[in-house]
Amino acid sequence: MKQQARAFAEKAHQGQTRKSSNVPYITHPIRVAERLEQAGFSEALVCAGYLHDVVEDTPYEIEDIEETFGAKVAQLVAAHTEDKSKPWQERKQHTIDTVRDACKEVKYLIVADKLDNLLGLEQDLARLGDAVWQHFNAGFDKQKWYNQSIAANMYVGLKANEIPNYFSEFEEAVARVFG
């Protein structure tokens, strides 16, 4: 099923590129899924890693995910999908609330995604400097608030043995990028 999810995501994101570069967008979901797989998570969660941006950024609907990959994968993707019709601040607050209150699998997916985004941002900052902020709906201060809020809320409800190593990687990246 993982190969099917990857192929579905590749087709869905075909022709899309990352924000500040010509890098194919699919590299991001692949890295998210690989991080989840390396952490030893379920096949459903790894599939959700490949598919996490499909509903948000392509013409596909959550029903397409459920029909092809089942209710569990669709539930994980839906929990992480932003409603792009809402303002930036409202969408991001919803994600912060979700990472605080959701089941651990949803937390794992969100943080894996945010870590990969932040590592990409860090590379873009090194390459482009502060001009990189022009590619975002919100500048440095709002991005700082958002990422620090994710870091502050991602541990809520998790036992020490349920925290993957990449959570600390996310905290370290937030500190490097936002001080």
Q: Which residues are identified as catalytic?
A: 56-57
Which residues lie below 8 Å from residue 17, measured CB to CB, with a gap of 6+?
Answer: 23, 24, 25
Tell me the C-alpha distance between 37 and 58, whole Å: 24
Tell me the C-alpha distance between 91 and 100, whole Å: 14
Tell me the C-alpha distance between 105 and 87, whole Å: 26
With contact defined as beta carbons under 8 Å apart, do 80 and 113 qualify?
yes
Which residues lie below 8 Å from residue 29, measured CB to CB, with a gap of 6+?
Answer: 9, 13, 49, 50, 51, 52, 53
With contact defined as beta carbons under 8 Å apart, do 117 and 146 qualify?
no
